[in-house]
Amino acid sequence: MKKIWKVWTVILVVAATVLLTISTQYSKKEEISTDSYQYLIGVSLPNVIEPWLNNFVDVFTEKVSQDKKINVIFRDAAGNPEKQIQDIETLMEYGIDILIVSPDGSDSLSSVLSEAFQKIPVILTGVGAGTEDYTCLIKSDDQKIGRLAGEYILNNLYEKNKKIVVFQGVEESPVSKQRLKGFQDSVQGTIPEEDITYYCGDWLRDRAELRMKDYLIAHDSADIVFAFNDDMAYGAYQACQQYRIEGKVHLIGVDGFEGESAGLSLVDKGVLDATIQTPDFGGLSYEIARKLLEGNKVEKNIIIQPELILQGGAKRKE
């Protein structure tokens, strides 16, 4: 009997040792997998359905995937300002090291951004938010985008009585307003107002396609289309295809992203006559965040100048 008890005692001791070893190893693996990054970045977006924000997510995610020291949490407000406020508050609760926000253009985020700015660096992209409480604002010269398009149309495409269709973004969008102002300032006094028709395409391809069909039903054809992003320009092109007038309508877009159906590719394929290239917000935001995390200073306001990209012509931004 004593021998049996001794055998069982040895077995139990060995089993306990094995379980303790496994438990310790598992705990170490858990620790490594959860603490494998050094910094956590929170990103709050107003509506990722907008093509430039979709591109932002793709580019930023790609950059972070190559950086073992950084992890990122994205939050999409889906067009709801109240939800974006809640998203920012939630990100702050996660203990993020840097907050990146694309405001919706209103002042609704000013208070929550001011609170965040007291604790961590805050990077704004696209537009401001009615407060000076931020570390860095990255934006494009949107008036110049409109002006470049207007000047290109005047110098290369427009003749008397030609009809122009302009697709704006979301109504009341500050970015859209600035692009509209730049365009109208450049053509005022040269192109009669009755030759220009304006639509809100809400930055969306299918919305622009529907509005372009409405125009073609009423007017049979168009001569020039200027859309405030490449997605809407492509939507207008698809409408022209269905009415068998593609190739007869000159199309200009904005963004100039890489990708199969993005602006640069559409120019290369001859779908668009031109695109106006805007900043790589995802890449720039990552670079600024990296500098801040390394303790470096950055400019408070960074305004990127747009560039007109023509078929087989102008140099592209690297």
The model's pLDDT over 205-260, given as tens digits with 9 standing for 90+, comes to 999 999 999 999 999 889 999 999 999 999 999 999 998 887 889 999 999 888 77
Whether residue 153 sits in one domain with residue 113:
no
| Residue 48, C-beta contacts closer than 8 angstroms, at least 6 positions apart | 54, 57, 74, 76, 78
How buried is residue 290: exposed, middle or buried, by Cβ count under 10 Å (0-12/13-18/19+)?
middle
Whether residue 236 sits in one domain with residue 161:
yes
Task: Report pLDDT digits (tens) over 180-189.
Answer: 999 999 999 9
Other CB atoms within a 10 A radius of the CB of residue 196 amount to 16
Using the predicted structure, report yes or no on whether residue 25 has a pLDDT greater than 70. no
Residue 314 banded pLDDT, cuts 50, 70, 90: low
**Which whole number is the average pLDDT over 95-102?**
96
Whether residue 82 sits in one domain with residue 168:
no
Residue 105: predicted pLDDT: 79
Whether residue 205 sits in one domain with residue 123:
no
Whether residue 85 sits in one domain with residue 49:
yes
CATH number, domain with residue 121 = 3.40.50.2300
Whether residue 248 sits in one domain with residue 182:
yes
Residue 269 forms part of a structural domain: yes
Residue 242 forms part of a structural domain: yes
Whether residue 135 sits in one domain with residue 158:
no
Residue 8 forms part of a structural domain: no
Q: Is the Cβ–Cβ distance between 212 and 242 less than 8 Å?
A: no
Using the predicted structure, report yes or no on whether residue 129 has a pLDDT greater than 50. yes
Mean pLDDT of the chain: 86
Whether residue 115 sits in one domain with residue 160:
no
Residue 24 forms part of a structural domain: no
Total domain count, the chain = 2
Residues spanned by the domain of 247: 142-277
Using the predicted structure, report yes or no on whether residue 4 has a pLDDT greater than 80. no
Residue 17 forms part of a structural domain: no
What is the length of the chain? Answer: 318
Residue 255 forms part of a structural domain: yes
Residue 220: predicted pLDDT: 81
* Chain centroid offset of residue 93 CA: 24
**Which whole number is the average pLDDT over 11-19?**
39
Residue 20 forms part of a structural domain: no
Residue 261 banded pLDDT, cuts 50, 70, 90: confident
Residue 4 forms part of a structural domain: no
- In whole angstroms, how large is the CA radius of gyration of the chain? 27
Whether residue 154 sits in one domain with residue 125:
no
Among 56, 61, 39, 58, residue whose Cα is nearest residue 121:
39
Residue 35: predicted pLDDT: 53
Share of the chain above pLDDT 70, in %: 87
Whether residue 148 sits in one domain with residue 91:
no
Using the predicted structure, report yes or no on whether residue 115 has a pLDDT greater than 80. yes
Higher-pLDDT residue of 318, 308: 308
Whether residue 174 sits in one domain with residue 118:
no
Higher-pLDDT residue of 10, 260: 260
Using the predicted structure, report yes or no on whether residue 80 has a pLDDT greater than 50. yes
**Which whole number is the average pLDDT over 309-317?**
66
Using the predicted structure, report yes or no on whether residue 15 has a pLDDT greater than 90. no
Residue 312: predicted pLDDT: 76
Whether residue 211 sits in one domain with residue 154:
yes
